[in-house]
Amino acid sequence: MSIQHSNKEVTFADDEFIVSKTDTQGRIVYANRVFMRVSNYPESDLLGQHHKIIRHPDMPRGVFYGLWKTLKSGEEFFGFVKNTTADGGYYWVFANVTPDVDEGKLEGYFSVRRHAPAVAREEIEKIYDEMREIERKHDRGSAPEASWNAMVDKVKQLHHMSYEEFVINLFNKHR
């Protein structure tokens, strides 16, 4: 089933958190009520589905390349993400995804998402536009890594900090 995307933005309060847990393959094993309400999916349609069920087509694939690269290194990931709702709307989040390790064994991933401030979104959308342009110029296989690396390099050159520092500072500056 293909979702017809719209310009209908769904928002949630600054003090609400969207929480989910996935297995090691990214399939949802837990979704809190805020996640269900904002994404407009009932629990039965989320559990067992790959988390990319909410991936919005505006998102550069390079962001997810960076997310998985970071998680596979055992580190937590921070980033701004535009997600899609079951009825074609969208919502922006500032995500923190953390490996769930129990007695040294990776069990899956926890994701806690906060409302993304509008001014921060405007700044990150410019970067994502550039990433999508880079992805259009590369073959499908190399595009995500190319756009991720270009973005990381640009952030380092312009802001003299890592990607992680940049997005955390951007979130904190505008919340």
Digit-coded pLDDT (tens) for 32-54? 999 999 999 999 999 999 999 99
pLDDT of residue 6: 78
For the chain, the domains span: 18-174
Give how far Cα 48 sits from Cα of 37, 45, 93, 101, Å.
18, 8, 22, 20
Q: What is the mean pLDDT of residues 15-32?
A: 97
For domain 18-174, give the CATH superfamily: PAS domain (3.30.450.20)
pLDDT digits (tens, 9 = 90+) for 91-141: 999 999 999 999 999 999 999 999 999 999 999 999 999 999 999 999 999
Task: Note the pLDDT of residue 90.
Answer: 97
Eight-class DSSP state of 116: P
Backbone angles phi, psi at 174, to 5 degrees: -115, 0
Q: How does pLDDT run across 55-74, given as a tens digit for each residue?
A: 999 999 999 999 999 999 99
Q: Give yes or no for residue 2 having a pLDDT over 70.
A: no
